[in-house]
Structure 1
């Protein structure tokens, strides 16, 4: 990547008053909304996330600044610097500055990682074939299908990353795409529009803000995670025991008549929002919800399991609304409900806790791997016929049959692979499991790139 030594002279040039004022404008675009919302200074970000991340974030703003033209003498700092001081710089430094001058921040999905050497980066915003990137440092920590916001610049004939590289979670990705759709797409658009390079250059601060809001939330214990109604995310599983002598078919008939219930199969319904809530509280952070292909927001799910009817939703307010609807529709077909509540933190902590408590296996590693892989085969084969939230609560097989949903299926499979590969021990059976059969089974192997 371009080093601070390559840009040393340019950074000194930034101290000039006219350029400092221009940089302050760009700096505010990248950090102002976060600092204002949290009543913080930039130094507070460094204290929360550490100096390394603070420098990376500053680099994101600086690299954006290098691409912009201003109403001052010279217009652009790179052009002006090379005109006045370029004779002092070697060929590599000048090549680096010129590459950054025209660079574009985008979101990439990485694959074909060769630790210490290279990777392939597929642009998730502009599309196109994956780009081969020479990279040493990041390849030691990145996993297959990770998503990163970065600038890819050609330096001396080789594609490299610039200094501002940010790893994106699925939540940060959703927030970024929502922002890009609002900025460049048509009203209520569900897909990213075609975005020109110059337009994407103008939206560089959106990458920083999406990453920063998401990262600060998680660093602070996720206090402000909300659904689209502005309600705090608290997951509720409301279980209605079926009354004595009542059959599932009797309950199913009543549930299907509840307004907003969209039936997926004989025992599963999506509870859809019929009209947006006008009194929803203003959200100060990205919201987290599932929508159907037609744009309808999913407020929860209802499912018949044995002698219980389950309502699953993500806030206390929705749980109360859903409970009222079900009790009014089903009357004496069900008894008083039982409710299990879990916070986001509890859900995140559950899996590590179970893994920590599990006794170490006392069987040979190769046998353990075979057993685990066979179990995962059975588990995922069943999953192919079960509703999945990331797929709009359709089953993977159903979603794979729709041209509009095939890309979502590919993203779901990549998410499974990525999470499986993140085991601390690369030899762990979870980490060595191959998902390739699922790609073939669902007919989306052409999207595994």
Structure 2
């Protein structure tokens, strides 16, 4: 039987703690979670914070602060201990177990998998490691994607694992950074603890032997106790401002060019057909077919990359796109009726693709018409036009079949191509070593996560990657 935590779970506790020192301690927990962000952006109320990051996230952060507060040891003791001692007889067994579970738990960084929407998921603790375990959850599982990573608190209540409070999603790259920062916190706590013990021994105040692993466990426990506010403040540091208040960053592609969206439109000369265009493009190594009418223009390592004239400004951001094998995508080629369109994101690339297509297409096309859009213009056009283009006039089954065929061809071929994330080895080559299999696992998880996010909110079925795990011999690592 699934345990149900009543919505009124904290009512008795809140009524009891209002009269003591607890509101001040709770306020400190809220400040620890949101204070740095509010001070940095001159925010002085929950309403203003909600305007900036959204009411949903304010609720999530408040929930995290409350649960953190329930586990804290203050100069006045622990609020859960004292409440249960004095008023616990009024609570149900489930309520007592839930409050005790929160008190004894900590926020950690988890990777989710084997998601059963509306029911449960597997969680793997990326900090404590260990085997994945089943967590019961209804609402969050309806939007989770496999291998997505979250900062959250998982509580065991009478043998069942449930989420307590909100959860914060983190992109894989940001999660890796956060994990590195957390490990540094643990190392620092371990160093301080060793110094304290050494001083105590020198003064004759401490003679107990603590093995190194014991010190590591203590340091990890201390770090985990502050993890909730650490994850919250780190997450908020990369949370975008309200769209109306954002300042657009300067975007640069990996060549160091400032981003400007440019489109070259080539009209076919008389007698030229799409079939001829497809044959030409399919025969080029730097043209990767995405469908029978779309090609990614990619860097296979043979082009001379222009270097930026100066370092990126402090506010500058890199704007990159790449294939699953790690090859940078320089632009996109699309066939539409009797035209060929080339979309690129900088002036130098526009000149480069113009020269490249002149060599490839020759007399098959007329000189191109050129359209330009700055980042600001592109954003404004997106806000004005909003609606997505109409899908092709095909049934859902026909669209799904076409998509599945294209995906199957693409992923069948990718197993024998060098992948940047695999140290430029092919997946089959990487599968021959233990280290390579670990890298394959991370790569496949990225593929699955990106695919699930791309299909989120659509009726399109998510591609099944299980055959790739099986064929590469890493199916046992899919956890």
How would you bin the TM-score normalised by the shorter chain?
Answer: 0.5 to 0.7
Higher Cα Rg: structure 1 or 2? 2
CA distance in 1, matches of 2:224, 2:97: 22
Residue 56 of structure 2 is aligned to residue 23 of structure 1: no
65, 68, 72: which one pairs with 1:68?
72
Aligned Cα RMSD in Å?
A: 5.1
1:271 Cα shift?
Answer: 9.5
Partner secondary structure for residue 239 of structure 2: helix
In structure 2, the CA distance between the partners of 1:433 and 1:122, relative to structure 1 (3 Å rule), is same
In structure 2, the CA distance between the partners of 1:89 and 1:108, relative to structure 1 (3 Å rule), is same
Q: What is the aligned partner in structure 1 of residue 236 from structure 2?
A: 212
91, 96, 99: which one pairs with 2:98?
96
Deviations 1:74-123 (A, max 9, x none): 2x111122222222222222111110001111122222223332222222
341, 356, 362: which one pairs with 2:389?
356
433, 440, 448: which one pairs with 1:414?
448
Provide TM-score, normalisation by structure 2. 0.62
1:355 Cα shift?
Answer: 6.3
Count of residue pairs brought into register by the alignment: 379
CA distance in 2, matches of 1:227, 1:197: 41
103, 119, 122: which one pairs with 1:120?
122
Structure 1: runs of 5 or more not aligned = 187-192, 239-263, 291-297, 306-312, 327-337
Partner secondary structure for residue 146 of structure 2: coil
51, 56, 81: which one pairs with 2:55?
51
- Contact 1:400/1:409, CA 8 A, preserved across alignment: no
40, 53, 78: which one pairs with 2:43?
40
1:373 Cα shift?
Answer: 1.2
**Residues 73-152 of structure 1 aligned to structure 2 (within 5 Å):** 73-74=76-77, 76-152=78-154
Worse overlay, 46-55 or 193-202: 193-202
Residue 406 of structure 2 is aligned to residue 375 of structure 1: yes
In structure 2, the CA distance between the partners of 1:203 and 1:272, relative to structure 1 (3 Å rule), is farther
- Contact 1:217/1:225, CA 8 A, preserved across alignment: no
Q: What is the aligned partner in structure 1 of residue 279 from structure 2?
A: none
Partner secondary structure for residue 434 of structure 1: coil
CA distance in 1, matches of 2:446, 2:26: 40
Partner secondary structure for residue 111 of structure 2: strand
- Contact 2:422/2:440, CA 8 A, preserved across alignment: no
- Contact 1:400/1:406, CA 8 A, preserved across alignment: yes
Residue 454 of structure 2 is aligned to residue 424 of structure 1: no
- Contact 1:132/1:159, CA 8 A, preserved across alignment: yes
Residue 469 of structure 2 is aligned to residue 435 of structure 1: no
Provide TM-score, normalisation by structure 1. 0.66
